[in-house]
C-alpha cells in the first residue's frame, strides 16, 4: 500500500495515513473559525474522528431538537391542582429557577403526620473539579424574564459545599446523591493523585450515595475498588506522610456492572436510606455503552448490562423487601432544547424539551421507580417524562463540574411507604461564586495544591488570547483545531507520510484561558492548565483509511445514535468539507465536498 506524502500529491481516494487521540503543543496556531452562513450550513476545514464517540452501543434515540431564539424560562408554579383536574395521578412538576439561593425550595418538614417531605440534593459529572473551572467550563447560562440570556460564573467545591450545607438547613429529612463521573477526566489537582482529593472532598460534603459512571472505570475495576475501600495506590504509594487514603464514606452503586465470570455486580447494586422510619431505595447504573468509551483495559473482565432491565430487576427486589420509594441514579442522559439551566423542559408538553437516550430509558423504567437522577451528557434539565403507566415522573440532571445542584422534594407517605407523585417538586440551583467559601474545602485544596505545585505550575507554552474548546459556539472549535494540528505534527515525527489528524470532541474538557489562573502571568500556559484540557493518558495512533472510510466516519458523526446530538470531530489543517444541518442523518455530510489538501476524496 502506498501512502500520500505530507505535501499531498494524489487524490484522497487512495489510502491515507491518519492520526487520532492525544498530542500536545507549546504555542497555539491562530484561531480558525468555520464559515457559517445564515442557513445551518457549515464549511469545516477538518473534522476529527473520535472512535469513543462514534459507535455508542445503545439503540435509544431521541428526536433532533431545535433551539428557539428565546428559550422559555421556567416560572414559579405548583401544578398539583391543575394536574389533578386534567389527569388523575399526574405529577406535580414545580421546577423553580434559582440563581444560587436555595430559598426557592418549598418543602419544609412534611404536610401532616402521615406524610413527610424528604429533601433529595443531587449533582453529577463533577470530574474532580475542586477548584472553580476556568473559562466557559465554569459558567452556566440563565434565561432572564425578557427572554435574554446571561452567563453566570459557577462551580468549585468550596462553593458547592456552602450551597449544599445551606440547602440542608431546616430539612431534617435530607439525602444527597450523585449520578456518576465524580472522578476521572479530572484537572491535575485531583488527577495527579488518582482522584484521592476528590473522594476526600465528597466525604466532607456528606455525600450519601452515588452511581458509578463511565469515568470511574478509567483506571480499571481494581482502582475503583480502592476508591471505595481505601488504601495507598499500588504503584505511587501514599501521597501524604502519616495519611492513608481511607476511601469513600458513601457507597458506589454499580447494579449493571457484573463480573464476567461470576455474573455478580462488582459493587453494591442498591442502597437504602433510612431515617425515622422513612426508607428510600437508590439503584445505581452506568450507561450500557461504557465499554465503547473507556479503554479496553479499564473494563477488562466486566459486563455492562441494559440499564432498564437492571433497574427494573432491582426495583422489584426492593419492592419485595418493603421498600416502596425508589430513586434511580443513572449515568446516562439527554440533550435539552436550550442551554439555559432554567429552561422549561416541559414546554409545550411533559418532557418535550429533552431528547436522547434518557427519554427512552425513562419511558421504559418500571413505575415502581419514583424519580431519576441522571448525568453523562453534562446538561441541565428538570423534566417530567411519562412512565410506562402514563404517569409523569421527574427526571433531573445538574450540568457538570459542580456548577449546579438539584433540590428535589419527595413527599413520603408513611402508610403506603411510597412517594406521593403529585407532590414531587424539583429545581436546579446555581452554585454561585458570590457566596462564602467553605473553609474546610479551602484547606483541602491548599494542602493538595502544595503537593501538585512543582508539576502544575511549570510553563509549557504561551497564548495571545483565549483558545476556546468547550466554550466554542460552532461545530469546529479553535482548540479542537489546535489539538488536531498538534496530533498531526507528532504523527509526522513517527511517520512523515501522515496527512490527517482527527480528535474526539469529548476529549476536549476545557478552554485555554489567557488570563492567569495563578502567579504565572497572563498568556502563560501551565502544565496544569494543559492537563485540564486533556486529562487523559491517550496516545496518538496511526491508521490507514480509504477515502470512502473517511467519508463514512464523517457521516457517523451526525447519523444513527449521533443524529439527535451530533459528535463533531475536530480536524487538522488540510481537510475541508461541508456540513448541512438542514438535512438528516448521513446526508448532512455533503460527500462531494470532502477535500484533503485540496483534492477530492472519492468512494
User: What is the biggest distance separating any 2 CA atoms in the chain, rounded to whole angstroms?
Assistant: 81
10 Å Cβ neighbour count for 222? 10
pLDDT at 80: 37
Q: What pLDDT does residue 42 have?
A: 52
pLDDT of residue 49: 33
pLDDT at 483: 97
Does 531 score more than 60 pLDDT?
A: yes
Every domain range in the chain assigned CATH 3.60.21.10 = 101-430
What's the pLDDT tens digit per position in 242-276?
A: 899 999 999 999 999 999 999 999 999 999 999 99
The lowest-confidence range among 159-168, 227-236, 298-307, 504-513 is: 504-513
- Among the listed residues 549, 546, 583, the one whose alpha carbon sits nearest the alpha carbon of residue 566: 583
**For 521-535, what is the mean pLDDT?**
95
Q: What is the mean pLDDT of the segment spanning 406-426?
A: 98
Sign of CA dihedral 228, 232, 235, 241: positive
- Is the pLDDT reported for residue 193 higher than 70? yes
Q: What is the mean pLDDT of residues 532-536?
A: 93
Q: What is the pLDDT of residue 241?
A: 87
CATH class for the domain made up of 16-58+457-600 = alpha beta
Q: Where in the chain is the domain with CATH 3.90.780?
A: 16-58+457-600
**171, 165, 169: which is closest to 119 by C-alpha?**
171
pLDDT for 71 beyond 90: no
CATH fold of 101-430 reads Purple Acid Phosphatase; chain A, domain 2 (3.60.21)
User: Which tops the pLDDT comparison, 196 or 37?
Assistant: 196
Question: Across 442-486, where does the E strand assignment appear?
Answer: 459-462
Mean pLDDT of 408-434: 98
Beta bridge partners of 599: 596
Please tell me the predicted confidence (pLDDT) of residue 74. Answer: 47
Please state, rounded to an integer, the average pLDDT across all residues of the chain.
85
Q: Residue 96: its pLDDT value, please?
A: 38
Q: What's the pLDDT band for 472 if we cut at 50, 70, 90?
A: confident
Q: What is the pLDDT of residue 601?
A: 77
What's 286-324 look like in SS3?
Answer: ECCCHHHHCCHHHHCCEEECCHHHHHHHHHHHHHHCCCC
Q: What is the pLDDT of residue 581?
A: 87
What confidence score (pLDDT) does residue 60 get? 32
Instruction: Taking residues 467-481, report their average pLDDT.
Output: 91
Q: What is the mean pLDDT of residues 43-63?
A: 36
Write the DSSP string, 90-138: PPP-B---BSS-GGG----S-SSSSEEEEEEEEE---TT--SPPPGGGG
Lowest mean pLDDT among 34-43, 357-366, 575-584: 34-43
Cell triple for 282: 437508590
Condensed to tens digits (0 to 9), the pLDDT of residues 123-162 reads 999 999 999 999 999 999 999 999 999 999 999 999 999 9
DSSP bridge partners of 123: 178
Q: Hey, which residues does 430 pair with through a beta bridge?
A: 404
pLDDT > 50? residue 100: no
Q: Could you tell me which residue, 76 or 600, shows the higher pLDDT?
A: 600
Please report which helix (H) or strand (E) contains residue 331, including its range. Answer: strand 326-331
Amino acid at each position: 500500500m502506498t501512502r500520500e506524502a505530507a505535501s499531498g500529491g494524489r487524490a484522497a481516494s487512495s489510502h491515507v495515513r491518519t492520526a487520532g487521540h492525544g498530542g500536545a503543543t507549546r504555542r497555539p496556531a491562530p484561531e480558525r473559525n468555520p464559515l457559517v452562513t445564515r442557513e445551518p450550513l457549515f464549511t469545516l476545514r477538518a473534522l476529527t474522528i473520535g472512535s469513543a464517540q462514534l459507535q455508542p452501543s445503545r439503540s435509544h434515540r431521541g428526536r433532533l431538537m431545535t433551539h428557539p431564539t428565546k428559550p422559555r424560562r421556567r416560572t414559579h408554579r405548583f401544578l398539583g391542582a391543575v394536574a389533578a383536574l386534567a389527569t388523575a395521578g399526574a405529577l406535580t412538576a414545580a421546577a423553580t429557577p434559582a440563581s444560587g439561593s436555595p430559598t426557592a425550595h418549598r418543602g419544609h418538614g412534611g404536610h401532616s403526620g402521615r406524610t413527610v417531605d424528604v429533601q433529595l440534593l443531587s449533582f453529577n459529572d463533577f470530574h474532580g473539579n475542586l477548584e472553580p473551572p476556568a473559562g466557559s467550563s465554569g459558567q452556566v447560562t440563565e434565561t432572564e424574564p425578557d427572554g435574554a440570556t446571561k452567563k453566570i460564573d459557577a462551580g468549585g467545591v468550596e462553593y458547592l459545599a456552602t450551597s449544599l450545607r445551606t440547602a440542608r438547613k431546616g430539612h431534617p429529612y435530607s439525602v444527597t446523591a450523585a449520578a456518576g463521573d465524580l472522578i476521572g477526566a479530572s484537572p491535575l489537582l485531583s488527577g495527579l493523585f488518582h482522584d484521592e482529593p476528590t473522594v476526600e472532598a465528597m466525604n466532607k460534603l456528606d455525600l450519601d450515595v452515588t452511581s458509578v459512571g463511565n469515568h470511574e472505570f478509567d483506571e480499571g475495576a481494581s482502582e475503583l475498588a480502592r476508591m471505595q475501600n481505601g488504601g495507598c495506590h499500588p504503584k505511587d504509594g501514599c501521597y501524604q506522610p502519616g495519611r492513608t487514603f481511607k476511601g469513600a464514606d458513601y457507597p458506589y452503586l454499580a447494579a449493571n456492572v457484573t463480573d464476567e465470570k461470576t455474573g455478580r455486580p462488582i459493587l453494591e447494586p442498591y442502597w437504602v436510606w433510612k431515617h425515622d422510619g422513612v426508607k428510600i431505595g437508590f439503584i445505581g447504573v452506568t450507561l450500557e455503552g461504557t465499554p465503547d468509551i473507556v479503554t479496553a483495559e479499564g473494563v477488562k473482565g466486566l459486563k455492562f448490562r441494559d440499564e432498564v432491565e437492571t433497574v427494573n430487576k432491582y426495583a422489584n427486589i426492593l419492592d419485595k423487601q418493603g421498600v416502596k420509594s425508589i430513586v434511580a441514579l443513572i449515568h446516562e442522559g439527554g440533550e435539552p432544547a436550550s442551554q439555559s439551566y432554567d429552561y422549561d423542559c416541559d414546554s409545550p408538553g411533559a418532557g418535550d424539551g429533552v431528547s436522547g437516550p434518557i427519554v427512552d430509558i425513562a419511558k421504559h423504567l418500571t413505575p415502581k421507580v419514583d424519580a431519576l437522577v441522571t448525568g453523562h451528557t453534562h446538561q441541565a434539565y428538570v423534566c417530567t417524562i411519562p412512565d410506562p403507566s402514563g404517569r409523569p415522573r421527574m427526571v433531573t440532571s445538574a450540568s457538570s463540574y459542580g456548577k449546579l445542584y438539584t433540590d428535589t422534594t419527595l413527599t413520603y407517605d408513611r402508610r403506603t411507604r411510597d412517594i406521593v407523585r403529585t407532590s414531587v417538586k424539583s429545581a436546579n440551583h446555581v452554585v454561585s461564586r458570590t457566596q462564602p467559601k467553605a473553609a474546610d474545602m479551602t484547606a483541602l485544596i491548599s494542602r493538595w495544591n502544595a503537593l501538585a505545585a512543582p508539576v502544575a505550575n511549570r510553563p509549557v507554552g504561551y497564548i495571545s488570547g483565549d483558545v476556546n474548546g468547550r466554550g466554542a459556539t460552532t461545530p469546529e472549535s479553535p482548540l479542537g483545531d489546535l489539538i488536531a494540528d498538534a496530533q498531526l505534527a507528532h504523527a509526522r515525527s513517527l511517520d512523515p507520510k501522515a496527512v490527517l489528524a482527527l480528535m474526539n470532541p469529548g476529549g476536549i474538557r476545557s478552554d485555554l484561558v489567557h488570563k492567569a489562573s495563578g502567579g504565572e502571568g497572563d498568556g502563560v500556559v501551565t502544565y496544569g492548565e494543559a492537563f485540564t484540557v486533556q486529562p487523559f493518558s491517550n496516545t496518538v495512533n496511526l491508521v490507514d483509511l480509504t477515502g470512502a472510510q473517511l467519508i463514512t466516519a464523517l457521516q457517523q458523526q451526525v447519523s444513527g445514535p449521533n443524529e439527535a446530538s451530533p459528535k463533531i470531530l475536530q480536524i487538522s489543517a488540510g481537510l475541508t468539507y461541508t456540513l448541512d444541518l438542514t438535512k438528516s442523518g448521513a446526508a448532512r455530510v455533503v460527500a462531494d465536498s470532502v477535500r484533503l489538501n485540496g483534492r477530492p476524496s472519492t468512494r
